[in-house]
Amino acid sequence: MPADSTADLKVHGFARHEDLPDVPSVSAVGVVVDVLRASTTIMTALHAGAQAVSPVGTPEEAMRRRAMVGTRKALAGGERGGLPAPGFDLGNSPAEYTREKVGGRTIFLTTTNGTAALLRLSMLHRVLVGGLVNRTAVANALVDHRGPVFMVASGTDGQPTEEDLIGAGAMIEALGRHRSLDLDRCAESMLTSWRALDGDADAVLRALQTSTGGRNLAAIGLDRDVHDAARVDNIPIVGALALHTVGGIHVAAIKRLR
């Protein structure tokens, strides 16, 4: 049943995933925002034909699950300290996730912040993955939702980050084109962060480059990842957390929302 277009859609913002309530509303849809880089990498992988991306808590768990399934069907990806974990097939750079590498496979992914946020939101009614690269697709997926929306910036090491607030604000702005919104104070701040860039592509890129995450990536020679993450609406799909079966085992994973 379509949502009542006259009803305000309540949007709660969280500047870091640690701020979520311990028992969040099961009627809420959560959007995990980790612009640099988990959200961008996950959506790039799905767009390149990966079957699913399963978030796990540690590198050891990613490698254990890959071993259970076999490398023909699964890969281990992600980072610690920004760089690929030892023994991994892939890091956390979106450009690594090509159709040739990930097509038809499941990725067991662990990152410092983004996958931690995904695991924390798993009790919600639905969990989506959003970034600048798919902001309009995320907004379209939320248009008919009747419950609250939790827009969750992943942050870095327990601190809010500019790039995630901007990404969340971009999705809120796109959603506001279709629904009347009731924003809490944090969601308003997210929207303001995005609107300050005035939709200018160069301004968006500069904002990401000078953000905490952007500076961290530049320091380890991964500037290209910032450019990839700044491509607004480059990916026309949404990923949603769902049950996934691979190699005879059942896991929670991000799959392309049909």
**Peptide bond connecting 37 to the previous residue in cis, omega within 30 degrees of 0:** yes
Average of pLDDT values for 163-176? 98
User: Nearest 5 degrees, angle CA 208-CA 211-CA 212?
Assistant: 135
With 70 as the cut, is the pLDDT of residue 1 above it? Answer: no
Average confidence (pLDDT) over 160-187: 97
pLDDT at 21 over 80: yes
Q: What is the mean pLDDT of residues 132-149?
A: 96
SS (H, E, C) the chain: CCCCCCCCEEEEEECCHHHCCCCCCCCCEEEEECCCCHHHHHHHHHHCCCCEEEECCCHHHHHHHHHHHCCCCEEEEEEECCEECCCCCECCCHHHCCHHHHCCCEEEEECCCHHHHHHHCCCCCEEEEECHHHHHHHHHHHCCCCCCEEEEECCECCECCHHHHHHHHHHHHHHCCCCCEEECHHHHHHHHHHHCCCCCHHHHHHHHHHCHHHHHHHHCCCHHHHHHHCCCCCCCCCEEEEEEEECCEEEEEEEECC
Closest CA to 9 of 24, 25, 29, 23: 29
Rounded to whole angstroms, the Cα distance separating 67 from 27 reads 36
Which segment of 4-13, 90-99, 149-158 scores lowest on mean pLDDT?
A: 4-13
What domains sit in the chain, N to C, each tagged with a CATH number?
9-256 (3.90.1560.10)
Mean pLDDT (the chain) is 94
* pTM assigned to the model: 0.95
Residue 122 has a pLDDT of 83
HEC sequence for 18-30 = HHCCCCCCCCCEE
Check residue 258 and give its pLDDT: 78
More confident residue, 154 or 2: 154
Give the pairing type, strands 74-80 and 106-110.
parallel
pLDDT, one tens digit per residue, over 193-248 is 999 999 999 999 999 999 999 999 999 999 999 999 999 999 999 999 999 999 99
Percent of the chain with pLDDT over 90: 90
Q: Are the C-beta atoms of residues 233 and 138 closer than 8 Å to each other?
A: no
pLDDT over threshold 70, residue 4: no
Q: Which two tokens stand for residue 183?
A: 């924003």
Q: Convert the pLDDT of each residue in 39-81 to its tens digit.
A: 999 999 999 999 999 999 999 999 999 999 999 999 999 999 9
- Cβ within 8 Å of residue 28, ≥6 positions away: 12, 124, 125, 147, 148, 149, 150
What mean pLDDT do residues 8-15 have?
Answer: 97
